[in-house]
Amino acid sequence: MVRRSRLAVTSAIVAILLALAVARGAQAQTLPRLVVMSFTMRADTRTPHVGQSFHLEIAGRLKEQLSGVDFVVLPNLAGLEPLGDERRAIATSAGTNFSESLTVVANRAGPIHLGGAYFDAIDARDGKAKRYYSNDLTLNAIGGAQTANDAAPLRAFLMKLVAALLIVFLVGAVLFQKKKQPARVPMVAPPVEPRIEVPPIENPLACALERLKRERDRPAVMTLRYELWKEAGARGGETLSDLVSRNGVAGTMVASLQRIERAAFIRDSRLEEAIDDAVAAVEKQLE
């Protein structure tokens, strides 16, 4: 009985290994046979602004002539929001040049690391199945419109510091003159601290709205969308439905979020109409 059990287990293991080998062989037969000359990934900026779209391009060159290249696996776009992509494959006498251009927007400030894109193929030079990787990318997203407001407290502090140093210098100069010529120095009134005008901190949401009304383009829409999500207290990884269903988000803000989301992803032919709806909703929210 023990021998039969062992034989049954051994037979099952052999059957599983044979099935795996057959499956791997079938998968290898479906892979394209290629000679890969180059495979890279780049961005048109390494310091994108939050809420403003930019492009990632994954490109390569193959020795074979292909009508299309649809087997490239894109990298994980954590920290970026895809808005669309465009693929190209051009066959020449020297092979095939292919590329995929992705339009993306950073949804948070700080460093964003992208692992390489990849694809599987059989190396035509040695007949072995291989995985080809592009290079990695590290981007540093800038906080956009929020940066100017963050700098306002620093400017106010520096203005006060300069005024204080000026007062100290004037008082020191007066005391030095009195000590040097006590009989000839007239009475000097104490210096009056100059009034420091601190510029008011602008409302980022109102500024983004004014920019959209003035420029009426897709980057201005994305900036206003970013400020609305921040105003609503969006958390990382939330979708629009998560945000509008949360308690505490007012009805007028829900309308603004829905209109700006439509304007962010609608086709260009209807962008003007969507911008008008979004502007009206945000103006009603700010009343």
Residues 175 and 197 placed together within one structural domain of the fold: yes
Asked whether residue 5 is domain-assigned, the answer is: no
Q: Which residue has the tokens 């299309």?
A: 68
Task: Please tell me the distance from the alpha carbon of residue 105 to that of residue 263, in angstroms, as a whole number.
Answer: 15
Q: Which of 118-132, 137-151, 218-232, 269-283 has the lowest mean pLDDT?
A: 137-151
Give me the percent of the chain exceeding a pLDDT of 70: 77
Are the beta carbons of 73 and 119 closer than 8 angstroms?
yes
Q: Are 143 and 227 in contact (CB under 8 A)?
A: no
Is residue 228 within 8 Å of 253, Cβ to Cβ? yes
| Residue finishing a domain among 120, 141, 162 | 141
Residues 6+ apart with CB under 8 A from 134: 39, 40, 41, 58, 60, 116, 117, 118
114-123, 235-244, 258-267: lowest mean pLDDT where? 235-244
Contacts of 67 (CB under 8 A, 6+ apart): 89, 91
In a domain, residue 269? The reply is yes
Angle of CA points 251, 253, 258, to nearest 5°: 95
- pLDDT for residue 201: 60
Query: Are 76 and 160 members of one domain?
Result: no
Rounded Cα distance between 90 and 59, Å, is 11
State the Cα–Cα distance between residues 114 and 96, nearest whole angstrom: 25
If asked whether residues 110 and 163 sit together in one domain, one would say no
Assess if residue 277 is contained within a domain: yes
The reply to whether 40 and 65 lie within a common domain is yes
Q: How many domains does the chain have?
A: 3
Report the pLDDT averaged over residues 135-163: 77
Average pLDDT over the chain, rounded to whole?
Answer: 83
In which element (H, E) is residue 87 found?
Answer: strand 80-92
**Within a domain: 9:** no
The reply to whether 57 and 127 lie within a common domain is: yes
Same domain for 76 and 113: yes
For position 199, what pLDDT does the model report?
Answer: 56
- Are 37 and 115 in the same domain? yes
pLDDT at 24: 57
Query: Is residue 23 included in any domain, yes or no?
Result: no
Q: Is residue 18 part of a domain?
A: no
Tokens of 132: 């080809």
Among residues 201, 217, 241, the one where a domain terminates is 201
Q: Sort strands 33-34 and 118-123 into parallel, antiparallel or unpaired.
A: parallel
Q: How confident is the model at residue 252 (pLDDT cuts 50, 70, 90)?
A: confident
- Identify the residue with better confidence: 197 or 35: 35
Q: Is the pLDDT of residue 245 over 90?
A: no
Indicate if 118 and 163 belong to the same structural domain: no
Q: Which residue has the higher pLDDT, 204 or 9?
A: 204
Close Cβ partners of 16 (under 8 Å, ≥ 6 residues apart): none
| Owning domain of residue 193 | 150-201
CA 3 to each of CA 7, 16, 200: distance values in angstroms, whole numbers, following the listed order:
6, 20, 88
- Residue bearing tokens 């892979």: 31
Instruction: Say if 15 falls within a structural domain.
Output: no
Q: Do residue 99 and residue 183 come from a single domain?
A: no
Percentage of residues in the chain having pLDDT higher than 90: 44
Least confident of 23-32, 40-49, 253-262: 23-32
Contact 111, 138 (CB under 8 A): yes
Q: Is the pLDDT of residue 5 over 70?
A: no
Q: Does 129 lie in the same domain as 154? A: no
Specify the CATH number for the domain of residue 86. Answer: 2.60.40.740
Looking at the structure, tell me whether residues 134 and 41 fall in a common domain.
yes
4 falls within a domain: no
**Domain final residue pick, 118, 141, 164:** 141
* 101 compared with 254, residue with greater pLDDT: 101
Domain shared by 127 and 35, yes or no: yes
